[in-house]
Amino acid sequence: METQRQKKIAGVIQKDIADVLQRAATDGGLKGTLISVSKVLVTTDLSIAKVYVSIFPNKNAEELLKGIKSNQPLIKHELAQRTKNQLRRMPELLFFIDDSLEYIDGIEKSLKGQDNPISNPDLLEKRKKA
Protein backbone atom coordinates (compact mmCIF):
# COMPACT_ATOMS: atom_id res chain seq x y z
CA MET A 1 0.00 0.00 0.00
CA GLU A 2 1.47 3.32 -1.10
CA THR A 3 1.55 6.13 1.45
CA GLN A 4 0.51 9.69 0.58
CA ARG A 5 4.15 10.73 0.89
CA GLN A 6 5.27 8.08 -1.61
CA LYS A 7 2.54 9.17 -4.04
CA LYS A 8 3.48 12.83 -3.66
CA ILE A 9 7.18 12.20 -4.28
CA ALA A 10 6.38 9.92 -7.23
CA GLY A 11 4.18 12.66 -8.70
CA VAL A 12 6.89 15.32 -8.34
CA ILE A 13 9.50 13.04 -9.92
CA GLN A 14 7.18 11.95 -12.74
CA LYS A 15 6.34 15.50 -13.80
CA ASP A 16 9.93 16.78 -13.80
CA ILE A 17 11.70 13.72 -15.14
CA ALA A 18 9.45 13.66 -18.21
CA ASP A 19 10.72 17.16 -19.08
CA VAL A 20 14.34 16.22 -18.41
CA LEU A 21 14.20 13.07 -20.57
CA GLN A 22 12.31 14.70 -23.45
CA ARG A 23 14.78 17.61 -23.52
CA ALA A 24 17.73 15.20 -23.44
CA ALA A 25 16.29 13.25 -26.37
CA THR A 26 15.68 16.41 -28.40
CA ASP A 27 19.15 17.80 -27.61
CA GLY A 28 20.64 14.41 -28.46
CA GLY A 29 19.29 14.71 -32.00
CA LEU A 30 16.30 12.40 -31.58
CA LYS A 31 13.71 14.93 -32.65
CA GLY A 32 10.95 12.55 -33.71
CA THR A 33 11.18 10.49 -30.54
CA LEU A 34 8.53 10.83 -27.87
CA ILE A 35 9.45 9.87 -24.33
CA SER A 36 6.83 9.82 -21.63
CA VAL A 37 7.01 8.68 -18.05
CA SER A 38 4.06 6.38 -17.53
CA LYS A 39 4.62 5.54 -13.89
CA VAL A 40 6.95 6.21 -10.97
CA LEU A 41 6.97 3.94 -7.93
CA VAL A 42 8.86 5.00 -4.83
CA THR A 43 9.96 2.49 -2.17
CA THR A 44 8.61 2.86 1.37
CA ASP A 45 11.94 4.20 2.67
CA LEU A 46 11.96 6.72 -0.22
CA SER A 47 15.46 5.62 -1.29
CA ILE A 48 14.60 4.21 -4.73
CA ALA A 49 12.31 5.46 -7.47
CA LYS A 50 11.43 3.05 -10.27
CA VAL A 51 10.76 5.10 -13.37
CA TYR A 52 8.77 3.47 -16.17
CA VAL A 53 9.31 5.17 -19.52
CA SER A 54 7.30 4.75 -22.67
CA ILE A 55 9.24 5.44 -25.86
CA PHE A 56 7.74 6.01 -29.29
CA PRO A 57 8.68 4.86 -31.90
CA ASN A 58 9.50 1.65 -30.06
CA LYS A 59 12.41 0.67 -32.33
CA ASN A 60 14.62 3.16 -30.44
CA ALA A 61 13.52 1.99 -27.00
CA GLU A 62 16.37 -0.35 -26.01
CA GLU A 63 19.08 1.97 -27.32
CA LEU A 64 17.51 4.96 -25.60
CA LEU A 65 17.11 3.08 -22.32
CA LYS A 66 20.85 2.31 -22.40
CA GLY A 67 21.56 6.01 -22.92
CA ILE A 68 19.24 6.98 -20.08
CA LYS A 69 20.86 4.45 -17.73
CA SER A 70 24.38 5.59 -18.59
CA ASN A 71 23.39 9.22 -17.97
CA GLN A 72 21.59 8.39 -14.73
CA PRO A 73 23.88 10.53 -12.51
CA LEU A 74 23.34 13.58 -14.76
CA ILE A 75 19.59 12.99 -14.88
CA LYS A 76 19.48 12.59 -11.09
CA HIS A 77 21.44 15.85 -10.65
CA GLU A 78 19.18 17.77 -13.03
CA LEU A 79 16.12 16.39 -11.26
CA ALA A 80 17.57 17.28 -7.84
CA GLN A 81 18.04 20.89 -9.04
CA ARG A 82 14.41 21.08 -10.15
CA THR A 83 12.94 19.51 -7.03
CA LYS A 84 15.24 20.93 -4.33
CA ASN A 85 12.38 22.91 -2.81
CA GLN A 86 10.16 19.83 -2.58
CA LEU A 87 12.55 16.96 -1.88
CA ARG A 88 15.38 16.90 0.63
CA ARG A 89 16.89 13.67 -0.69
CA MET A 90 16.68 12.52 -4.26
CA PRO A 91 15.96 8.78 -4.44
CA GLU A 92 18.13 6.50 -6.57
CA LEU A 93 16.57 6.31 -10.05
CA LEU A 94 16.01 2.97 -11.75
CA PHE A 95 14.71 3.06 -15.32
CA PHE A 96 12.49 0.48 -17.01
CA ILE A 97 10.72 0.31 -20.37
CA ASP A 98 6.95 0.37 -20.01
CA ASP A 99 5.75 -1.77 -22.88
CA SER A 100 2.10 -1.85 -21.85
CA LEU A 101 1.06 0.26 -24.87
CA GLU A 102 2.81 -2.16 -27.21
CA TYR A 103 1.17 -5.06 -25.37
CA ILE A 104 -2.30 -3.48 -25.76
CA ASP A 105 -1.56 -2.77 -29.42
CA GLY A 106 -0.60 -6.43 -29.92
CA ILE A 107 -3.85 -7.59 -28.34
CA GLU A 108 -5.88 -5.23 -30.54
CA LYS A 109 -4.07 -6.37 -33.69
CA SER A 110 -4.58 -10.02 -32.91
CA LEU A 111 -8.28 -9.48 -32.21
CA LYS A 112 -8.74 -7.63 -35.52
CA GLY A 113 -6.42 -9.71 -37.70
CA GLN A 114 -5.99 -13.28 -38.88
CA ASP A 115 -3.98 -14.34 -35.88
CA ASN A 116 -6.99 -14.16 -33.60
CA PRO A 117 -6.52 -16.71 -30.80
CA ILE A 118 -10.31 -16.92 -30.33
CA SER A 119 -10.98 -18.13 -33.87
CA ASN A 120 -7.68 -20.03 -34.14
CA PRO A 121 -6.91 -21.67 -30.78
CA ASP A 122 -3.74 -23.32 -32.20
CA LEU A 123 -2.02 -19.93 -31.81
CA LEU A 124 -2.23 -20.17 -28.03
CA GLU A 125 0.55 -21.92 -26.19
CA LYS A 126 -0.60 -25.21 -24.79
CA ARG A 127 -0.65 -25.32 -21.02
CA LYS A 128 1.37 -28.06 -19.45
CA LYS A 129 -0.68 -30.33 -17.25
CA ALA A 130 0.89 -30.67 -13.82
The pTM is what? 0.74
How do residues 106-115 score in pLDDT, each as one tens digit? 788 777 775 6
Judged by phi (left if over 0) then psi (alpha if -120 to 50, else beta), residue 29 lies in left
Number of residues that this document lists for the chain: 130
Say what the pLDDT of residue 127 is.
Answer: 61
> 71-99: per-residue pLDDT in tens?
899 999 999 999 888 888 889 999 999 87
The predicted structure's pLDDT at residue 37: 92
Residue 65 has pLDDT above 70, yes or no: yes
**CATH code for the structural domain at 4-123:** 3.30.300.20
- Under a CB-based contact definition with an 8 Å cutoff, are residues 17 and 36 in contact? no
Distance CA 43, CA 112 (A): 40
Q: Which has the closest alpha carbon to 33: 15, 53, 58, 16? A: 58
Where do the structural domains in the chain lie, given as residue ranges?
Answer: 4-123
* Strand 92-97 versus strand 48-56 pairing type: parallel
Above 80 in pLDDT, residue 29? no
Rounded mean pLDDT of the chain? 83
- Look at 74 and 34; give whichever has higher pLDDT: 74
Q: Please give the single-letter amino acid code of residue 71.
A: N
